[in-house]
Structure 1
Amino acid sequence: MNRVIGYTRVSTEEQGRSGLGLDAQRAAIEAHATAKGWEVVWLTDEGKSAKSLDRPALQTALSTLKRGQAEAIVVAKLDRLSRSMQDFSSLFARAKKEHWSLIAIDLGVDTTTATGKLVANVMGSVAEWEREIIGERTSAALKAAQARGIKVGRPRALSRDAETRLYELRAHGLSFAKVATQLNAERVETAHGGTWHASTVARILNRAA
């Protein structure tokens, strides 16, 4: 492997905190790349949260990797890339499909190695378990509502995948507005093909509550 993307990120709140600055992240990546003999292409998202993968520099990195113009994305800390196990799992699956590697220095996740692949697979399994647990809790809540005589249903034409993703995001503590923003970012279709709004999310959840 010769050419990698060094990805750094700070949110607005983190920009002034020690240990999370861009310089510290870059220094860690540079040291690792120098030891490996890699050429680094730098991409940075400033003032961006890790709650979503919809970040300009990260999307550029993913496009670059897909085109084969770099062989890996390297981060100093995994949370610079994502704080969601599900997002990490989707990135890992994408990396395998598109034949590039993912390296998080702090956790020793390096999918160019057998051990790194094992760690990534374990994290992916945890993400899958988390999705199943959320699904079981959602199902139990709906059955309990039905047992109380409450009519439970989803808006006509809303896909099962869309409904499941909405409940997953809400279960992670996101507000109605943030759930809507994430669904729009992921291009999840509404029942009628429009744009998600906080009121739309609230209406669907209230029908099951």
Structure 2
Amino acid sequence: MARAKNAPANTVVAYVRVSTGEQVESGAGLAAQRAAIEAEADRRGWTIVAWKEDKAASGKSLEGRPGLAEALELIESQQAATLVVAKLDRLSRSLIDFAALMERARSKRWNLIALDLGIDLATPAGEFLASVMASAAQWERRIIGQRTREGLAAKKAAGVRLGRPASLPVDIRTRIVSEARDGASLAAIARSLNADDVPTAQGGKKWYPSTVRAVLASQEASQFA
């Protein structure tokens, strides 16, 4: 099944990880992970091509983990056939990230094994589990999206203004409204603000007629909110 084209089937890259504050006694320490992988390697006749590790690294994301990046590079450059972890959460605590990694393994034809849960993409059971977890990850993404939409709708219904809050001082907004009421054009107001080095609401250095129009529109809308 899924293994690197030119790497012998019994070659593996072992990956271990601990995050800040994790204790050896918990069974998640580096030594415990290494011992579990070495025991399985002896039992199954694996050749461990390399050990890669990340210390004080969170498992919430696959990003920012140089050890994991190096392990994947070794696998995908066909120097080993399989990536092995002692525990699934050492690889990722995110179901969505793990499902994406399994799909990457399948598409690029390398194997992935997590000893604690018996995940092995080279077996029919492993393939089935991968499909189940991929479906669960898709469900999780949809639930997150639904909750986000419902939360925004609830805030809007409650009158909460969404988006980035205005950061333009009241006196500047008052000045813009006053100049507009006195008959100044949008371009003239923008020139006046630029001449006085007044920053925009987002910290920009230059005002434009469209920027002034947006401030006037927000002021008018707030009067009817």
**Structure 1 counterpart SS, 2:25:** coil
Measure how far apart 1:5 and its partner are.
0.6
> Does residue 1:91 correspond to 2:101, yes or no?
yes
Match of 1:139 in 2: 149
Counterpart residue type for residue 99 of structure 1: R
> Does residue 1:25 correspond to 2:38, yes or no?
no
Separation (CA, whole Å) in 2 of partners of 1:45 and 1:149: 46
**Structure 1 counterpart SS, 2:78:** coil
Q: Which runs of 5+ in 1 are unaligned?
A: 155-209
Q: Which runs of 5+ in 2 are unaligned?
A: 1-8, 165-225
Separation (CA, whole Å) in 2 of partners of 1:124 and 1:25: 26
26-35 vs 54-63, which moves further: 26-35
Cα deviation, 1:81-127, whole Å, max 9, x if unaligned, reads 11110110111111111111110000011001010111122122111
**Structure 2 counterpart SS, 1:17:** helix
Out of 106, 114, 117, which is 1:107 matched to?
117
For the 8 Å contact 2:24–2:32, the answer to whether it is kept is: no
Match of 2:127 in 1: 117
**Is the radius of gyration larger for structure 1 or structure 2?**
2
> Does residue 1:49 correspond to 2:58, yes or no?
yes
Separation (CA, whole Å) in 2 of partners of 1:83 and 1:46: 15
**Structure 2 counterpart SS, 1:74:** strand
Measure how far apart 1:52 and its partner are.
2.0
For the 8 Å contact 1:15–1:47, the answer to whether it is kept is: no
For the 8 Å contact 2:12–2:46, the answer to whether it is kept is: yes
Match of 1:204 in 2: none
Percent of residue pairs bearing the same amino acid type: 53
Separation (CA, whole Å) in 2 of partners of 1:17 and 1:50: 19
- Pairing 1:153-164 to 2, within 5 Å after superposition: none
Counterpart residue type for residue 3 of structure 1: T
Measure how far apart 1:152 and its partner are.
4.5
Counterpart residue type for residue 98 of structure 1: K
Match of 2:189 in 1: none
For the 8 Å contact 2:24–2:31, the answer to whether it is kept is: no
Distance 1:148 1:11, change over 3 A: closer
**Structure 1 counterpart SS, 2:122:** coil
TM-score normalised per structure 1? 0.68
Cα deviation, 1:148-181, whole Å, max 9, x if unaligned, reads 4555468xxxxxxxxxxxxxxxxxxxxxxxxxxx
For the 8 Å contact 2:15–2:53, the answer to whether it is kept is: yes
Distance 1:12 1:144, change over 3 A: closer
TM-score normalised per structure 2? 0.64
Counterpart residue type for residue 55 of structure 1: R
Query: Between Structure 1 and Structure 2, how many residues are aligned?
Result: 155
